[in-house]
Amino acid sequence: DAGITQSPRHKVTETGTPVTLRCHQTENHRYMYWYRQDPGHGLRLIHYSYGVKDTDKGEVSDGYSVSRSKTEDFLLTLESATSSQTSVYFCAISEPRTSGTDTQYFGPGTRLTVL
């Protein structure tokens, strides 16, 4: 978890409210990712960023948006939270494959409950 923090670590919210999760890194890695972890599904990619202001969708992006205005921060927003978005959310970082150190490293996670 070193070098990657996520906030908040726990959140309970109500259906229909907006929620923003923050990922902050001190490693200056170019790539950042948001995953959700659900029993029976493993980790599924929501969105990722390959540079400041450069983002793209993952396999489960519906209902989520992201922003990256600076290298160290990657925000995940649920515009109108639904109960199906109750999950544990993980941020990860990596360098480009060409750097030879392209392993993804994960943050500690945010447990989100939508009532």
Partner 1 sequence: AQSVAQPEDQVNVAEGNPLTVKCTYSVSGNPYLFWYVQYPNRGLQFLLKYITGDNLVKGSYGFEAEFNKSQTSFHLKKPSALVSDSALYFCAVRDRELTGGGNKLTFGTGTQLKVEL
**Residues at the interface with partner 1 (CB under 8 A):** 1, 4, 31, 33, 35, 40-45, 48-50, 56, 58, 90, 92, 94, 96-97, 102-109
Residues 6+ apart with CB under 8 A from 43: 35, 36, 37, 90
Cis ω for the linkage preceding 39 (within 30 of 0): no
* Shortest Å distance, C-beta 15 to partner 1: 25
* Shortest Å distance, C-beta 37 to partner 1: 8
Minimum CB distance to partner 1 smaller for 63 or for 95: 95
Residues 6+ apart with CB under 8 A from 87: 36, 37, 38, 112
Minimum CB distance to partner 1 smaller for 14 or for 54: 54
* Shortest Å distance, C-beta 9 to partner 1: 10
Distance CA 37, CA 43 (A): 5
